[in-house]
Amino acid sequence: MPSIKQFQVTFDCAEPERVARFWCEVLGYVVSPPKGFATWDEFDRTRPPEDQGSWFACNDPSGVGPRLFFQRVPEGKVVKNRVHLDVRVGTGLVGAERLAVLEAECTRLVALGAVRVELLADDYDACIVMQDIEGNEFCLD
């Protein structure tokens, strides 16, 4: 059986477009409407009113990272995520240099609406646990 080379990460959320646009800013992704449509608004106009705004997606413009898909669900987030994204901004760095890069990115993301939860650090390694604009946990690593 051949290995799977592509996958997408799906987020359950209350406001798909809002959460998608947040993650576009975090990761440098771009909005990608469904095939055959120039925009998500054009796609939504083909849907029944109750389904409009139910989905949104974005892609890595380089084509390397996975597609991110956001779908509206009726229930809110209740408990900690079982799976989360690690946003790798400090790869290869250690100590004070790593911490400075993580803190700078944390400041940028807080300005976008993210919430800083906690810093996990020792003399060598560090990560910052955060939440996106709907409370989904992720780490700056």
Residue 86, pLDDT above cutoff 90: yes
Residue 60, pLDDT above cutoff 90: yes
Residue 80, pLDDT above cutoff 90: no
Please count the other Cβ atoms lying within 10 Å of the Cβ belonging to residue 128.
Answer: 24
Backbone angles phi, psi at 86, to 5 degrees: -105, 115
Q: Which residue did the predictor score with more confidence, 3 or 11?
A: 11
Q: In angstroms, what CA-CA distances link 137 with 4, 36, 116, 124, 132?
A: 26, 33, 10, 23, 7
- The 10s digit of each residue's pLDDT in 103-125 is 999 999 999 999 999 999 887 78
Confidence of residue 57 (pLDDT cuts 50, 70, 90): very high
Instruction: Give residues with Cβ within 8 angstroms of 72, minimum separation 6.
Output: 13, 14, 15, 16, 53, 54, 55
Residue 78, pLDDT above cutoff 90: no
- Mean pLDDT (the chain) is 92
Residue 29: predicted pLDDT? 98
pTM beyond cutoff 0.75: yes
Mean pLDDT of 90-106: 93
Burial class (CB in 10 A: 0-12, 13-18, 19+), 68: buried
